[in-house]
Amino acid sequence: MRPLARSLPPLPDESLPGFLLRLAFRLHTSPAELAVRTGLADRADRAVLPVPLLIGLTAERRHTFARMIKATDTEVDAMLLDTYSSRYPPAQPSPSGRNGLANQQHRWLFMHATRYCPQCLTGQDNPVEQAFGGAWKTCWRLPPVFACLAHRRFLEHECPACKSVILPTATRSTVRHFPRWREASLHPAQCRAFVDGQCGHRLDRDSVNSQPLPVEYEEFQQLLLGLLNPVGPDEVITLGHSTSPAHYFTDLRTACQILRASWPKSRHLLDNKDLVSFLEAAANETPRSRSTLVHAVSDMPQMEAQPHAALLLAADRLLRAGDPDTFASHLRLLLDEPERRPSKVSWARAFLNTRPQCSEGFLQAVSSVLQTYAGRSLGRSLKQPVRRTRFRPEHIPQFLEEDWYQRHFAHMDGIATVRLRRTVAIRLCQAASGGSIQKAADRLSLYLGDPAIAARIADSPKHVHGWARKRPDPLEFETALRNLAAELDARDNLIDYEQRRKALASWCIGPRPWEVIASRIAVPVGNYAAGGGFAVDLSDRKRNIASVILWSLMTQAEHVFAPTPICDQQDPETQRKWRNSVDAVWARIRHGNTRPTDTQMITVLEEYAAYLTPIIDRGQTPSSEASPWTSHRTGRASRSST
């Protein structure tokens, strides 16, 4: 193949099909023949420009095309949509090789039609553009580009004569290609639609700007073009967090989908009459099924520039003017009706299935909404967490640490402390591992043992979420939860509580350490506490209680999950009495009215725990006889796989 005898220099931001239209017009040939001559098509009988070639070409085909038209590889790269791929994710070529609408990623590209500016199509005041027209720009196929700043006007999307969309792809063939591709006599700016005959209207002659561009839209378009520019700003603030342009555009797309999917609930967030009218008309023309509306409409950008620009601006205001809490509050309001709950809204499922690369602020807001629901239906889509965390489920204690509770949640009244601490632990585990509330509870081993206990634990998140929504600040609980999660994310010394639970799964205080502990508990004269009423008991019953308390201190878990090998060796009636004794001591600890002997015992157990925890955290399982007061202090700690 030899380079063409004559060619044209590509214009700034000129698209590949636009360049072929201009060059074919100059050479008095058809774009189809030109595609074969330049290496874009392999066979004359299939001399079309498939739509996927709008996105990108292989390196070999790019180089061949550049050589044929006497251009550089860089000039050819600028004709393709993937030149925006580093900043605009939908413009990335599909890893599977499937491009177009079959790939959900490419829905936010105008692959089968384009917007245009009539004044730009007339070209600049130079002989080449006067003769062959101006550029069909690559950026016109990006939905965030809705205006021409050079001429301060909204872009057009249809022919004023026949009302057809511009440069539509053929639909009668499995290979979608551009219309009238084998005709050699059409001007690049002519309408190529065929409705009761060929239209042929000159689009560059309707340059009257009937809708001047408002200042706020002009500034917004400048912002978006700057973010699309490969040498533009590298960061943008979204929901209070600095993020990349690529993440911002993903946030913007999802916010637009939420606004449309939740219509008319989102009416109060929109201040544009044209947009409101457009959404109302779309809703009236759509079947009543919410899922149908969401699938067919909400994630497809509109060709009409003005209402789509208003939607983009409304979405941008949501993302730029607030923080994750504010956005989450809007999201909860939009989803507060039964048919719009996250488990029933398609955008939520699509979001969880595709896992788009969003900003940290957006992920925080969405996760605080989607991951609060206990339903198993949405849990299936939450197999992976919404956002990645440094802490893992093994770093979460079954019962929230006292220090964490005091600093983040103790000031919240109106809810049982047990329910609150239990729910926070489950929610933290859910944030780290994904899945439903039930799955997170299973991951923390909270459903083992008594079915009645399992039922109480299952009810805790429901009570806490209902209580939180009725507080003066409905977002207070979620804010505190997110602050605690951020604190754990920043830590380097996370504790593996799961390892501790496994190491102590069948552990108890041995007889020799218990002798030392018992000797350090001051027994009143006569073996009765001051004031009488009960005898001080330092038997195996008390050793069982001490073992449970020590296990709870080390694992930060509720006493009901503690192993009780000493108690398990007794007869059933004795087991029942001993478990009641454990519950009684635990209740006194929780209410702060422990007896003097209990207080003394807990003080010694805290010393014992300080000795055992480093051993377990090193991956060893201590012997029941090991203690800081016996000869087993340095020995009898066996290796275990954790």
All residues at 6 or more sequence positions from 63 whose CB lies less than 8 Å from its CB, including other chains: 73
**Residue at which a domain ends, from 336, 370, 404:** 370
Quick one: how far is CA 41 from the chain centroid?
Answer: 40
SS3 at position 622: strand
Query: Are 628 and 607 within 8 A, CB to CB?
Result: yes
Examine the domain organization and report whether 73 and 196 are in the same domain. yes
375 is a domain residue:
no
293 is a domain residue:
yes
pLDDT for 126-140, tens place per residue? 888 888 889 999 999
8 is a domain residue:
no
414 pLDDT band (50/70/90 cuts)?
very high
Radius of gyration of the chain (CA): 34
Amino acid at 539: S
Q: Identify the pLDDT of residue 486.
A: 86
Query: Are 154 and 309 within 8 A, CB to CB?
Result: yes
The terminus-to-terminus CA distance of the chain in angstroms comes to 66
All residues at 6 or more sequence positions from 1 whose CB lies less than 8 Å from its CB, including other chains: 37, 39, 64, 68
Query: Are 55 and 109 within 8 A, CB to CB?
Result: yes
Q: Residue 634 — φ and ψ, nearest 5°?
A: -105, -5
What string of DSSP letters covers 446-502? -S-S-HHHHHHHHHHHHHHHHHHHTSSSTTHHHHHHHHHHHHHHT-S----HHHHHH
Query: Are 365 and 328 within 8 A, CB to CB?
Result: yes
CA 600 – CA 276 distance, rounded (Å):
70
Q: Is the pLDDT higher at 198 or at 513? A: 513
| CA proximity to 260, closest of 286, 241, 234, 242 | 286
Residue bearing tokens 């593996």:
496
Q: Is 153 exposed, middle or buried (0-12, 13-18, 19+ CB in 10 A)?
A: buried
Q: Is the pLDDT higher at 473 or at 298? A: 473
Examine the domain organization and report whether 184 and 285 are in the same domain. no
Q: Is the pLDDT higher at 468 or at 635? A: 468
**Residue at which a domain ends, from 468, 494, 520:** 494
Quick one: how far is CA 52 from the chain centroid?
Answer: 28
Q: Identify the pLDDT of residue 451.
A: 72
pLDDT at 147 over 70: yes
Examine the domain organization and report whether 326 and 284 are in the same domain. yes
- The 10 Å Cβ neighbour count of residue 227 is 21
Examine the domain organization and report whether 516 and 397 are in the same domain. no
- The 10 Å Cβ neighbour count of residue 635 is 11
All residues at 6 or more sequence positions from 417 whose CB lies less than 8 Å from its CB, including other chains: 405, 590
pLDDT for 562-583, tens place per residue? 899 999 999 999 999 999 999 9
Q: Identify the pLDDT of residue 83.
A: 93
**CA–CA distance from 326 to each of 265, 333, 357, 611 (Å)?**
16, 11, 21, 46
Overall average pLDDT of the 431-452 stretch: 77
Examine the domain organization and report whether 326 and 473 are in the same domain. no
Q: Identify the pLDDT of residue 12.
A: 92
Examine the domain organization and report whether 309 and 242 are in the same domain. yes
pLDDT for 29-87, tens place per residue? 988 888 888 988 776 555 566 677 788 888 999 999 999 999 999 999 999 999 999 99
531 is a domain residue:
yes
Query: Are 582 and 548 within 8 A, CB to CB?
Result: yes
Per-residue three-class SS string for 257-304: HHHHHCCCHHHHHCCCHHHHHHHHHHHHCCCCCHHHHHHHHHCCCCCC
> Which tokens is 474 given?
């409905």
> Which tokens is 280 given?
């109302």
Q: Identify the pLDDT of residue 632.
A: 47
Q: Is 216 exposed, middle or buried (0-12, 13-18, 19+ CB in 10 A)?
A: exposed
pLDDT at 181 over 60: yes
Kindly report whether the peptide bond that precedes residue 264 is cis, defined as omega within 30 degrees of 0: yes
Examine the domain organization and report whether 245 and 318 are in the same domain. yes
Q: Is the pLDDT higher at 281 or at 124? A: 124
Overall average pLDDT of the 117-125 stretch: 89
Examine the domain organization and report whether 485 and 505 are in the same domain. no
Q: Identify the pLDDT of residue 74.
A: 93
Examine the domain organization and report whether 314 and 187 are in the same domain. no
Q: Identify the pLDDT of residue 365.
A: 85
**Residue at which a domain ends, from 474, 494, 514:** 494
508 pLDDT band (50/70/90 cuts)?
very high
Q: Identify the pLDDT of residue 43.
A: 65
3 is a domain residue:
no
CA 178 – CA 32 distance, rounded (Å):
10
482 is a domain residue:
yes
Q: How many domains does the chain have?
A: 4
Identify the helix (H) or strand (E) that includes residue 249. Answer: helix 245-261
Examine the domain organization and report whether 606 and 510 are in the same domain. yes
pLDDT at 372 over 80: no
Examine the domain organization and report whether 476 and 510 are in the same domain. no
**CA–CA distance from 289 to each of 301, 311, 316, 340, 344 (Å)?**
20, 22, 28, 11, 11
pTM of the model: 0.76
State the residue range of the domain holding 144. 16-205
210 is a domain residue:
no
What is the overall mean pLDDT for the chain?
Answer: 82
All residues at 6 or more sequence positions from 58 whose CB lies less than 8 Å from its CB, including other chains: none
Examine the domain organization and report whether 167 and 26 are in the same domain. yes
Query: Are 118 and 148 within 8 A, CB to CB?
Result: no
222 is a domain residue:
no
Overall average pLDDT of the 364-387 stretch: 66
Could you give the percent of the chain with pLDDT greater than 90? 38
Q: Identify the pLDDT of residue 450.
A: 63
